[in-house]
Structure 1
Amino acid sequence: MVHKKVASYFEENYSKNHILIKAPGRINLIGEHTDYNEGLVLPASIEKGIYFAVSDNDQNSIRIETFLTQPEKVEFQLNGAHKPFDSFWGNYFKAIIEILDSKNYPLKGMDCVFGGDIPIGSGLSSSAALCCGFIYAITQISKQKITREEIALIAQEAEHKIGLNCGLMDQYAVLFGKKGNAFFLDCKDLSHKYIPINLKGYSWVLINSNIKHNLAVDSEYNKRRVSCENIVKQVQEYKSQITSLREVDKDDLKKVKEKVNLIDIQRATYIIEENERVLKMMQMLTNGDAVGVGKVLKEGHWAMSTQYEITTSELDYLVQIGEELEGVLGSRMMGGGFGGCTINLMETENLESNIRSLLQSYKEKTNIDAEFYHLDIDDGVKVFE
């Protein structure tokens, strides 16, 4: 178990007196790329996560060590004289420390060891878990409370400093998740509620395509955000009160069609329809309609493929395989795009045979070994007992 490995390493190398914190990864049932358009999303936090063992120290520094990918260590002096480091993840912690310092947050010397079982680059939001878990760990050491809402904003700002202009869905899902529930979030006013996931006889499975993505260095994510902003600017010429694509409808798109690039219209249409799919998915879950849930998953995937153009041929093929298997109700790519996992709703009775068929067919077509993960919906960031 990863949490035992993290705790044991910390005890051997730092102190037996420590706090262990879990920051979960997240899935998103539906609602991709809607968050930065002040739209609707339906994520859930999962049992896979990143674990942080932490304690205070008298070194006037924050020392952080991991074996997440390979053994690495970074150190930040509280006086701001940070030592150079090569690790990519260190940039997230550097951004967080700088943000907290700018807010005059009383940082204290701290030792931290972290590790986890979230597959990196698979669309399970390991970066949000990393940021939210680390900020929460700092609050535990400093004894100075920061609300979860503020932790989400700080984590988002850190991601922006790294170069990914993300919304707030991932951070809210990681922080506010609840066992057995999806988390509906309106990204316009940040109102939210829990939607019980009660589909007896069915299981959620992730299939990792093993096509890796790195959104922070892949500008395609930001290009799509610019497309959405282009539409908003044009609509604002006759609807000055609107602030985001959330307030734009298809009639508006017809009015500005001659003034913008057609690809921008295509992408805006996807966002408008994806918000509608979130509402549909909530209704299907509420009704316990597994067939309806599967249908929404498939609609969402092919819209991402043909309208928003963020899937890959490998991910499209995974969904196609599922469409031909009895007992696979629906699949779609999950996450920012250009790699990662599909989320699949399957009949529990034929679960293992369908997973084997998916993996075998995918291997034959792509010569890539995919991986699968059974999903359990778990709580958000917490002190792990």
Structure 2
Amino acid sequence: MIRAKAPARICLFGDHQDYLNLPVIAASIDRYIFIEAQPNQQGVLNLNLIDLGIKRQIALLPTQVEKGDYLCSTLSILHKRQITLTSGYDIHIHSEIPVNAGVSSSSALIVAFIRFIVQATETEASNLQIANWAHEAEVEFFNEPGGIMDHYSIALGGLRLIEPKTRFTEEFLNPHNDLLLVHSGLPKSTLGVLGKAKQYALEAVAEATKHHPEFRLEDAVKSDIKNFKPILSKLLFPYFEAAIENHLITKEAISIYKNRAKNDTTSKKLEGLMERHQHYLDTAIKNTPELMRIQMKEAKNAGAKAVKVMGSGGGGCFIILAQKENHEEIIRAVLAQKAKFIEPIQITNH
């Protein structure tokens, strides 16, 4: 029996930033996808996705990969590296991670699947290699609009800085022991929100660079927002503003995490930054549906310090920072607004 697992992830700072090659701060959490695999004599993979009620059979080396078939794309990109299964397996997949909810269930599945293949083929691979392979299988293979945040945070674990441009990553001391994860009850809209946000942000940056070739988004300052507003269309400007503001927010958060302090002042600063980040995600990128806004408002009325939508948005999950003594009241308030669930979570390093 071969066993493998991978965690879900949350993004604390930098949503809609990694595809712009700007840094993000993300973390793995204690919600997992589990794979159990037993060799068979059929020479195929018999997959049982227990929670979804899906059973399927795939070849050890698929000849054709349909768009969005991440298991087959994983087999394909590993085969290019001479990592290929030589035996069939009966594979049972069970997950604690909500699907289509902004906490990277698909990326976790790919990381867990790669970990299974690595064990089955007796391949030596670091977590960093696994992260890069997972990104290739999910994003590069299909030319989809995602960055490396999901794969790095899931494969490497912990609370960490991820810099997509250089693929540098650094783990931070975790100051958060009071997180709640909420599923709004709405499905997220990954490729819709994410694709539009990426397209408009890149167009805005390209337009700014056309007028001022020296402009670099990673070096942007707050005054650039006002200076470039006259040359950008009403459609593109909010995405340009959000890109700069969220980048500055993330840089400030990085500085706080690097100081490694854990006190009330640090907590209040991070809470304030998260609230600002959510403001731009909502008002500029428009990734927070009305029902989720209501749930967030009720959470804050019940004592939450900060809230933020997860992933691309358009539905799915959000996180809450709140003192533990307020959790019970917050849970009641959010569930009263048709949330699917709300539960405490912990950041993990594995």
Alignment TM-score > 0.5, same fold: yes
- Deviation (angstroms), 1:163: 6.2
Q: Secondary structure at the match of 1:262?
A: coil
Q: Which of 273, 289, 310 is the equivalent residue of 2:245?
A: 273
Task: Name the counterpart of 1:92.
Answer: 70
> Counterparts of 1:94-173 in structure 2 under 5 Å?
94-111=72-89, 112-160=91-139, 161-162=141-142, 164-173=144-153
Q: Percent identity?
A: 22
Question: Which residue identity does 1:189 align to in structure 2?
Answer: T
- Deviation (angstroms), 1:154: 2.6
Q: Secondary structure at the match of 2:305?
A: strand
- Deviation (angstroms), 1:245: 3.7
Task: Name the counterpart of 1:12.
Answer: none
Cα 1:115–1:163 shift into 2, 3 Å: farther
Cα 1:369–1:248 shift into 2, 3 Å: closer
Task: Name the counterpart of 2:316.
Answer: 340
CA contact (8 A) 1:63 1:76 kept: no
- Deviation (angstroms), 1:55: 4.1
Number of residue pairs the alignment of both structures matches:
343
Residues in 2 aligned to 1:354 and 1:250: alpha-carbon distance in whole angstroms? 35
Are 2:4 and 1:30 equivalent residues in the alignment? no
TM-score normalised by structure 1 residue count: 0.81
Cα 1:195–1:81 shift into 2, 3 Å: closer
Are 2:222 and 1:246 equivalent residues in the alignment? no
Q: Which of 352, 366, 383 is the equivalent residue of 2:328?
A: 352
RMSD: 2.6
Residues in 1 aligned to 2:245 and 2:163: alpha-carbon distance in whole angstroms? 15
CA contact (8 A) 1:230 1:260 kept: no
Deviation string 1:103-129 (CA, Å, 9 cap, x unpaired) is 443332242221111011221110110
- Deviation (angstroms), 1:345: 1.0
CA contact (8 A) 2:189 2:313 kept: no
Q: Which of 164, 181, 188 is the equivalent residue of 1:206?
A: 181
Task: Name the counterpart of 1:331.
Answer: 307
- Deviation (angstroms), 1:324: 2.0
- Deviation (angstroms), 1:192: 1.8
- Deviation (angstroms), 1:46: 0.8
- Deviation (angstroms), 1:54: 2.3
- Deviation (angstroms), 1:254: 5.4
Q: Secondary structure at the match of 2:198?
A: helix
Cα 1:222–1:247 shift into 2, 3 Å: farther
Task: Name the counterpart of 1:222.
Answer: 195
Task: Name the counterpart of 1:8.
Answer: none
Q: Secondary structure at the match of 2:210?
A: coil
Deviation string 1:336-381 (CA, Å, 9 cap, x unpaired) is 1100122111111232122112322x2xxxxx3431121011233x
Are 2:47 and 1:64 equivalent residues in the alignment? yes
TM-score normalised by structure 2 residue count: 0.88
Runs of 5+ consecutive residues of structure 1 not aligned to the other structure: 1-17, 363-367, 381-385
Q: Secondary structure at the match of 2:165?
A: coil
Residues in 2 aligned to 1:50 and 1:100: alpha-carbon distance in whole angstroms? 21
Residues in 2 aligned to 1:106 and 1:50: alpha-carbon distance in whole angstroms? 22
Residues in 2 aligned to 1:240 and 1:260: alpha-carbon distance in whole angstroms? 15
Q: Secondary structure at the match of 1:44?
A: strand
Are 2:270 and 1:287 equivalent residues in the alignment? no
Task: Name the counterpart of 2:206.
Answer: 233
